[in-house]
A and B are shown apart, each in its own frame.
Chain A
Amino acid sequence: MDLRFTDAQPTAAEREAVESVLGPAGVESHQRVRTASNLRIFATGMQSVADRRHLLLPALETVQSEIGWVSEGALMHICRELSVPPAEAWGVATFYSLISVDPSPPVVVHVCDDIVCRRAGALELMEGLEANGRIPNTRWLPSPCLGQCDRAPAAYVQRAGEEDHVLVSIDPQARPMEPDGSIVSTNGQPESLAVPQAGEPHLRLLRRVGTVDPGSLDSYLEAGGYRALEEAVEMGPAAVVAEVKASGLRGRGGAAFPAWIKWEAVANSPDAVRYLICNADESEPGTFKDRVLMEDDPFSVIEAMTISGYAVGARQGYLYIRGEYPLATRRLRSAIHQARRAGLLGESMRNGVSFDIDLRRGQGAYICGEETALMNSIEGLRGEPRNKPPFPTVSGLFGKPTVINNVETLCNVLDIVSDGGSNFASLGTPQSTGPKLFCLSGSVRRPGTYEVEFGATLGDLIALAGGLPEGRRLRAVLLGGAAGSFVLPDLLEMPLTFEAASEAGVSLGSGVIMAFDQHTDFGDILARIAAFFRDETCGQCVPCRVGTVRVEEALARIRRDPQPGDLELIEEIDLAMRDASICGLGHTAAIALRSALELGLME
């Protein structure tokens, strides 16, 4: 491969940013010095030039966050350092919505205008921003759901050279006030709030949330942290897998696949190199449960990953977290750092285990939550899903056997190890075992993340969240997120279990329960959902790339003046997307829409 680069050179600041990830320029990688700042590069254990392609996204991300955009000079510098063809690097950089390849002002505010936020005043907020004209040094852009729907409306703020952050519970009347225009005023809520149930004794997944100091390993240890890892090591890897099998644990990321099947396949793989991935991309509109775990109990995520990696024989784990979760990212990074220092993570841990974690930040792409797209994203490729088979347990990250699980799925492993798989299985129903987190948002009094045992009904959860506000009647619920479906109040008695949902022809998805009252403009909501999928499809396969556009167009016609045939057209498109698309995004893109139309919510 004889690569050709343009002559563009990086600025000193760009060079420095790239160096902070890749090490000193032009030095053979094996000679690079291990420093605190580039530790995570070495943690991966892959150091030949050909193996450094996976650093492409971290390099782009760092330039974006330090400089505010990725110039030609910076891009070429990264390409030269990593021996990546410039056209391919361009293809990767232009795939992510948080990366800008055009000169950008130092402050970029991504204002969520997705389902919940637009009902909570986001549109008004954006009109105000627009009316105020150009704010110096600031640009604002609409954004899909930021995973803050319990504190809507929300915005994610990128600031060149400074830490990014999230604004929540923004006053829709707020206008940029600061002289530099950088801050939209809020009503002063802190970034992270404890969950509504904080401190209640029956909690399992959420028991430490709001009670431990998320920044302190000691606090976690005092609360019983890392005892599960100790027990796991005493039991041995095979016994841990056996307990997970006995627990009946099924995936919490959306597909509800039994965890043990993947674990056993990788644990028994003849390949010595295996990986464990924690999927923390959480971008399904209406989902924010993983964020709560990561922000308020980060050590449990790290410990759970360590046990899981140990059980399946992986020495290296990856935690892939969406870019719009800066607080969770900071807390997890600090947790990883503290665990390493305490000998609870790294090449030779104090219990003789060897496991390390590399944290990777997504850069604004819902599709990167799909497991194989996520792997491509880590590998420095475009986040396009792969065709399956082969499945990740056979050929996953870097072509190696890989277990990938959702944050909540993995966190359950702590109790499974401590209390035993059969105890876990005694919670919930035979087919839906254990505790489950649900994300309540929309028209409820106390939106938030709630933990229940499987078997609680939809009505129970809405009641937990305080029911609907005064004068509001429940019109419909969006169950499972934008990739889920709408249901009517006649399903309030339905237990929220995998089996009951599947019998009713719906899906629990990622645990989204979004309530809508009688004042909802469903046409507006559906249009936002259609726009979401059109924005977020990777564009790789024809049925989904064009199908999502045609669905959006048909819906626009239906909203304006319904023509005979438009409904049928959406059905026809949906059928082809479900049958012929590569991945779950295409398979589910029109489901919510169709359910709303069939239930007559637009009328």
Chain B
Amino acid sequence: MTRPETQQSVRLTIDGAPVEVRPGATLLEACRQMGTEVPTLCYLETLTPVNVCRICVVEVERNRTLVPACSRIAEEGMVVKTDSDRVRHSRKMILEFLGSSVDLSAAEDEVGEWMRQYEAEPDRYGPQSEPSAAGERDRRHPGHHGEVNGRTAEGVHQPTKVDNTLYVRDYSRCILCYKCVEACGIDAQGTYAIAVAGRGFDARISTEMDLPLGDGACVFCGNCIGVCPTGALMFRSEWELRRAEMWNPDAQSVTRTVCSYCGVGCNLELHTQDNRIVKVTSPQDHDVTNGHLCIKGRFGYDYVQNLGDVDRSSIDEVLAKARRPSPE
């Protein structure tokens, strides 16, 4: 039962303990308020919940199925379990489904921790299927698929899309969390350069007609990179450094500063390695940007690198590659 809106708070029970939350709060909010961990992948405070990854499911009494904590609104008297057998089973299977079909090696650290916590064994579905050829997944027609023999576990592996100097799209790592679509469209950028295309297992993030980014509507604000939880969207600089096995987060420092291009006052986080800027992010908790920037703040740092007051070193060679339109 929901109480009238004038009510100051909603009371419910989570894992046996009572909790009081503001009206309209989600179960996730309620859990966090109590310090109860709930894994999330497609949820971000600054984006409209799409509730598609389902990793956040919890058990609510008198509900036939589990419910997504990230978007289900807390109701008076709800009895919620966040760690029941059913919850653990679904989370484990979701992690296995993702781990057996997507390259999670560059995903946020929590993902690996959850894999251990829920005892996920992605390998039990068999060896990975062969990666598909460049562009092949983008041409698949809905409602049809090839022969299935069960010897391998089909995945989304494919060559990285490198079509500009600013960032790359490695959809082998894409879990289809829709975050980039939301950040590009309705929730932040308003550009709508990318959307989900295709259907079913062949669904993918795509520009119109699978055009290279520069030929479509993309304005290279990099906001999609900022929200991607798996490293599918990656700064070209980071991607080149990783390829050269020179990417070293431990040796990086982060400097917070204010963008010098215009008067809005966006906060920037300059990630530097060997005194070179290797990527630029923006703090998600900053109320001007909510983690979002424009092309200038995000990518317009080359003039700093070109001051010539530092000796050229091997990192410069790699970063120079990132300035060439196509990969070598």
Contact = CB atoms under 8 A, between A and B. Distances in A.
Interface of A: 1-4, 6, 72, 75, 85-91, 94-97, 100-102, 141-144, 364-365, 382, 387, 389, 531, 534-543, 545-550, 552-557, 560, 569, 572-573, 575-576, 578-582, 587
A556 B149 contact: yes
B145 A534 contact: yes
B148 interface: yes
A572 B142 CA distance: 27
Contacts of B154: 549, 553
Contacts of A86: 208-209, 216-217
Interface stretch (B161-169, B190-198, B233-241, B254-262): B190-198
Interface SS of chain A: helix
B143 A580 contact: no
Contacts of A560: 149-150
A539 B90 contact: no
Contact of B195 (A85, A364, A552): A85
A64 to B, nearest CB: 13
Contact of B217 (A87, A97, A548, A575): A87
Nearest to A587: B65
A553 B153 contact: yes
A576 B120 CA distance: 13
Nearest to A141: B144
Contacts of B139: 102
A6 B215 contact: yes
B175 to A, nearest CB: 7
Interface in B53-86: 53-55, 57, 65-66, 68, 71, 73, 86
Contact of A1 (B93, B97, B126, B190): B190
A535 B90 contact: no
Contacts of B86: 575, 579
A557 B150 contact: yes
Contacts of B207: 87, 90
A549 B201 contact: yes
A91 B144 contact: no
B93 A543 contact: yes
A553 B126 contact: yes
A389 B126 CA distance: 37
A534 B192 contact: no
Contact of A365 (B94, B191, B199, B216): B199
13 contacts: A3-B192, A85-B195, A95-B198, A538-B203, A539-B196, A542-B52, A543-B90, A545-B176, A545-B200, A550-B125, A553-B126, A572-B93, A579-B66
B65 A578 contact: yes
Contact of A548 (B197, B200, B208): B200
Nearest to A84: B192
Given A94-B199, A538-B199, A580-B54, A573 B206 contact: no
Contacts of A543: 54, 90, 93-94, 97
The 9 A-B residue pairs with the shortest CB-CB distance, nearest first, are: A97-B143, A85-B192, A556-B150, A539-B203, A546-B97, A576-B93, A86-B208, A557-B150, A91-B195
A542 B153 contact: no
B200 A538 contact: yes
Given A542-B53, A542-B98, A580-B66, A90 B93 contact: no
A560 B144 CA distance: 22
Contacts of B152: 553
Contact of A550 (B153, B206, B217): B153
Given A87-B192, A576-B94, A582-B52, A4 B216 contact: yes
A473 B98 CA distance: 44
B97 A547 contact: yes
A553 B66 contact: no
B142 A96 contact: yes
B198 A94 contact: yes
Interface of B: 51-55, 57, 65-66, 68, 71, 73, 86, 89-90, 93-94, 97-98, 100-101, 124-126, 139, 141-145, 148-154, 175-176, 185, 190-203, 206-209, 211, 215-217
B195 A87 contact: yes
Contacts of B176: 539-540, 542, 545
Contacts of B143: 97, 143-144, 364-365, 535-536
Contacts of B175: 542
Contacts of A531: 145, 148
Contacts of B216: 4, 6, 86-87
Nearest to A558: B150
B208 A582 contact: no
Contact of B93 (A4, A382, A552, A573): A573
A237 B98 CA distance: 51
A2 B71 CA distance: 30
Contacts of B194: 87
B295 to A, nearest CB: 14
B94 A537 contact: no
A553 B5 CA distance: 49
B203 A87 contact: no
Contact of B125 (A3, A553, A576, A587): A553
A547 B150 contact: no
B192 A97 contact: no
Nearest to A537: B200
Contacts of A88: 185, 192, 195
Contacts of B66: 579-580
Contacts of B68: 387
A537 B201 contact: yes
B51 to A, nearest CB: 5
B52 A75 contact: no
Contacts of A569: 124
A209 B97 CA distance: 48
B144 A97 contact: yes
A537 B203 CA distance: 10
A546 B208 contact: no
A76 to B, nearest CB: 8
A141 B54 CA distance: 34
A556 B148 contact: yes
B192 A580 contact: no
Nearest to A72: B209
